[in-house]
Structure 1
């Protein structure tokens, strides 16, 4: 892919990253609320949650963010290809 087309995709990739963060945060809050009955995941420095809860919450956040980020980035790349006829990854 030419340098110009790579540059054209950069804003799409950045917006995808921000969108993925927002979407994954909302999903994590819903999942954690259903699982633990709390609105927010526990922070590592909170004493009122066990070590296992804190690590589980972090693993959940990481997994959901990775899956959401991949899905949003893939959709962005598909949209870019539809708009330009060029796949941004190759």
Structure 2
């Protein structure tokens, strides 16, 4: 039992920097995807800020919902891909 706990702790330490790098890359990817998606559906190249008084509620909420969905999907894909990669390299799923 102690060996299993040590192994799990070691895997967490190994995966932590990998997860951090993947998170940074995923954030950059999500930001780029959102910018392109907003340019396709929005009324301009820049997404509205919640405090932009020249924009309507509908546009602000649509931008926020789209951004949240994109960031969540990219994060899930990056996390899952990272875990699969760790399993391929180490033979076990990161805890």
TM-score normalised per structure 1: 0.92
Residue 44 of structure 1: aligned partner: 50
Equivalent residue number for residue 67 of structure 2: 61
1:86 aligned residue: 92
Q: Render the CA deviation track for 1:24-47: whole Å, top value 9, x for unaligned.
A: 110110010011242221000111
Residue 8 (1) aligns with residue 18 (2): no
5+ residue gaps, structure 1, are none
Q: Is 1:32 paired with 2:38?
A: yes
- RMSD over aligned CA atoms reads 1.1
Segments of 4+ in structure 1 off by > 6 A?
Answer: none
Structure 2 alignment gaps of length 5 or more? 1-6
Aligned length: 89
When normalised by structure 2's length, the TM-score is 0.87
